[in-house]
Structure formats: C-alpha cells, structure tokens
Amino acid sequence: MAHSPEHVEEFVCEDCQVIHAGTPVQSSSGGHAFEPPESCGVCGGSEMVPTENWVHQQE
C-alpha cells in the first residue's frame, strides 16, 4: 500500500501577512492535526488565520 503524504496546514499572520507552517500534533484518530504558532516569528503578532480562510477574512 502506498503512503499518502499529509498536507501541512498553513496559517497567515493577520499583522504582517507572513505564512507559517502549522505545528503537528497527534489527534485521537491516530493522524495529525496542525495548530498555529503561538506568535509570529517575524512581528510577534498572535492572530493567525488558516490560509484557506484568509481571503474571506479580508472581505
């Protein structure tokens, strides 16, 4: 059986718009979930939005 790679969830900093990779955490189903970083490594901002929601956040 071929392994299907997981896609890392990405988050956008609301303050400076830098994209960060989510931190993998083990989920109860045995797979991985991804959490946003606690703060932006560039500006120190703490508000992160998943990239798929970024366009909707700006409307």
Tokens found for residue 32: 């991985």
- Residue 3 inside a domain? The answer is no
Domains in the chain, number = 1
- Residue 26 inside a domain? The answer is yes
Q: Which domain holds residue 29?
A: 10-55
- Residue 39 inside a domain? The answer is yes
Residue 40 CB coordination number (10 Å): 21
- Residue 16 inside a domain? The answer is yes
Instruction: Write 33-40 long-range contacts (CB < 8 A, 24+).
Output: 34/8, 34/9, 36/11, 37/11, 40/13, 40/15, 40/16
* Model confidence at 59: pLDDT above 60: no
- Residue 36 inside a domain? The answer is yes
Question: Per-residue pLDDT averaged across 2-14, rounded?
Answer: 81
Considering just the CA atoms, what is the radius of gyration of the chain in Å? Answer: 13
Reference 54, options 28, 20, 8, 7; nearest CA is: 20
Confidence of residue 54 (pLDDT cuts 50, 70, 90): confident
**pTM for this one?**
0.78
- Residue 1 inside a domain? The answer is no
- Residue 2 inside a domain? The answer is no
* Model confidence at 3: pLDDT above 70: no
- Residue 5 inside a domain? The answer is no
Confidence of residue 21 (pLDDT cuts 50, 70, 90): very high
Work out the mean pLDDT of the chain and round it to a whole number: 86
